[in-house]
Structure 1
């Protein structure tokens, strides 16, 4: 169990470093798309260095039906 926890922690740290290198943690616009892209980058972890460049587009909140 401790090994799994350590692996997940290292995975997320590598994802955080990738997000930092891409400048996602600087002073930028805070909206759905930017926050989702940062979260996806962190979760992707080492895959960022294998060519994965997650980008998330948000349209905003869905409108209720009439």
Structure 2
């Protein structure tokens, strides 16, 4: 169980490193849905970023609340 938790933590740390290296944490004060989605998916992809995966969210349509 501890090994699995450690592997998940390392995976996510590598994803944060890849996100930081691509400059996704800087630039805008009010990030839009696409930017936030790209940051999250890049972090989740982790080490796959370094073997050529470049995940991006192109469209993001948030649901509108019902009236």
Runs of 4+ in 1 over 4 A off after TM superposition: none
Q: What is the deviation of 1:62?
A: 3.8
User: Cα RMSD over matched residues?
Assistant: 1.7
CA offset digits 1:5-45 (Å, max 9, x no partner): 00000000000000000000112250110000000000000
- Gaps of at least 5 residues in structure 2 are none
1:15 aligns with 2:38: no
Q: How many residues align?
A: 65
Give the TM-score, by structure 1 length.
0.87
- Calculate the TM-score normalised by the size of structure 2: 0.86
